[in-house]
């Protein structure tokens, strides 16, 4: 594409803003700043193999996981960029025990809060697999002009104003959803801009890929086991078994699912009934994106976006992807004997 055909993410978000007379441009500015954080993190990720940035940072995060130095860098980058951007009153991060309310007046007068997983899939850093940043944007419920509160970060996913991810893969992309739909932007390094590359993204209603860590299946219940058998049989729709793909990095597995169709599953099991993935900064943003693209995301009991959070770092089982594959999985998971 010649340079003069490129539409940068900033130009695109401004064009989108103009569709709403009452829009102030604050959300566009916030998305631009998240893109800036992504570019800064991208620079470090691309150097990870060269700079002595690999290896355990030593500290452990609230999940009890050893923090890779890149995790810490990504977290601090997002916190600082959002602190200086004037559209964000505060943040909550996978890497921090509690939410953080910015203390300056500009921030306290902001109307949005942001939750993020700064570097999801970080255990894949030293094997050079794709990793990513996931974010969710909410309008605060606490009064403008005051410090934001925990309630701002415990809103259900259906209250998200926007959500997205940045994937540090064979190329660096930023994908985000608003009520207008899902759009993908690829970083053009020669100009340092995210440029529109995947307009109006739609998740194929059908798919042929199931994505799950089958190593956990010894702990699955009867419904999950019957669904796995279905995936591995010559199922009627496809006339062949589904293909199994699992990268172990949610952003990478979800990006493939969004583009190619399929289903990504991290279910609950006998030892972890709520599964592993976090509701507020992994499952909710990915479900908003998937639903805006025509897919769906459920916990096995309810739509992910309808779950009322009670804790900042709570987990939920997730079945997400092509609508007809998620519905089929629910036939097994909800009532195995009727499948």
* Closest CB to ligand P6P among residues 277, 325: 277
Segment lying near ligand P6P (by CB under 6 A), choices 51-59, 182-190, 249-257, 283-291: 249-257
Q: Which helix (H) or strand (E) holds 183?
A: strand 181-188
Query: Cβ of residue 123: shortest distance to ligand P6P, in angstroms?
Result: 5
Tell me the C-alpha distance between 317 and 163, whole Å: 19
Tell me the C-alpha distance between 300 and 290, whole Å: 16
String of contacts with ligand P6P for each residue 82-121, x by CB under 6 A: --------------------------------------xx
Nearest C-alpha neighbor of 163 from the set 35, 285, 13: 285
* Closest CB to ligand P6P among residues 27, 166: 166
In sequence order, the β-bridge partners of residue 298 are 303, 319
Query: Cβ of residue 145: shortest distance to ligand P6P, in angstroms?
Result: 36
Residue among 248, 270, 311, 334 that touches ligand P6P (CB under 6 A): 248
Tell me the C-alpha distance between 136 and 114, whole Å: 6
Q: Which residues contact 129 (CB under 8 A, 6 or more apart)?
A: 121, 247, 248, 249, 252
Binding of ligand P6P at residue 195 (CB under 6 A)? no
Residue 201 burial by Cβ neighbours in a 10 Å radius (0-12, 13-18, 19+): middle
* Closest CB to ligand P6P among residues 265, 296: 265
Residue located via tokens 């496809």: 238
Residue among 69, 140, 276, 323 that touches ligand P6P (CB under 6 A): 276
Residue among 213, 219, 233, 301 that touches ligand P6P (CB under 6 A): 213
Residue among 86, 155, 249, 287 that touches ligand P6P (CB under 6 A): 249
The residue length of the chain stands at 339
Binding of ligand P6P at residue 38 (CB under 6 A)? no
Binding of ligand P6P at residue 123 (CB under 6 A)? yes
Q: Both tokens of residue 49?
A: 């193999």
* Closest CB to ligand P6P among residues 33, 71: 71
Tell me the C-alpha distance between 272 and 51, whole Å: 37
Using CB under 6 A, list all residues that contact ligand P6P: 120-121, 123, 213, 248-250, 253, 276
């Amino acid at each position: 594409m010649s340079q003069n055909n490129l539409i940068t993410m900033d130009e695109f978000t401004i064009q989108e803003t103009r569709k709403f007379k009452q829009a102030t441009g604050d959300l566009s500015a916030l998305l631009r700043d998240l893109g800036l954080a992504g570019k800064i993190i991208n620079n470090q990720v691309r150097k990870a193999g060269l700079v002595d940035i690999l290896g355990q940072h030593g500290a452990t995060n609230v999940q009890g996981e050893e923090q890779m130095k890149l995790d810490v860098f990504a977290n601090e980058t997002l916190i600082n960029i959002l602190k200086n951007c004037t559209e964000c009153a505060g943040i909550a991060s996978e890497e921090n025990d509690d939410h953080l309310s910015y203390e300056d007046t500009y921030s306290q007068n902001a109307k949005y809060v942001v939750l993020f997983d700064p570097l999801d899939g970080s255990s894949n850093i030293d094997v050079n697999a794709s990793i990513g940043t996931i974010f969710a944007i909410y309008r605060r419920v606490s009064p403008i002009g005051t410090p934001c509160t925990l309630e701002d970060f415990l809103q259900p996913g259906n209250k998200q104003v926007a959500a997205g991810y940045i994937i540090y893969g064979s190329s660096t992309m930023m994908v985000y959803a608003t009520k207008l739909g899902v759009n993908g932007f690829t970083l053009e390094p020669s100009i340092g801009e995210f440029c529109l590359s995947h307009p109006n993204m739609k998740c194929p209603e059908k798919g042929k890929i199931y994505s799950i860590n089958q190593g956990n299946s010894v702990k699955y219940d009867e419904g999950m086991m019957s669904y796995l058998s279905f995936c591995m049989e010559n199922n009627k729709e496809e006339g062949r078994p589904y293909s199994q793909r699992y990268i172990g990095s949610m952003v990478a597995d979800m990006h493939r699912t969004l583009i190619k169709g399929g289903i990504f599953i991290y279910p609950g099991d006998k030892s972890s009934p709520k599964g592993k993935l976090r509701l507020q900064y992994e499952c909710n943003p990915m479900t908003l994106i998937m639903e805006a693209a025509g897919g769906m995301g459920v916990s096995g009991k309810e739509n992910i976006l309808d779950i009322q959070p009670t804790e900042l770092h709570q987990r939920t089982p997730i079945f997400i992807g092509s609508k007809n594959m998620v519905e089929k999985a629910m036939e097994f998971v909800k009532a195995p004997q009727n499948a």
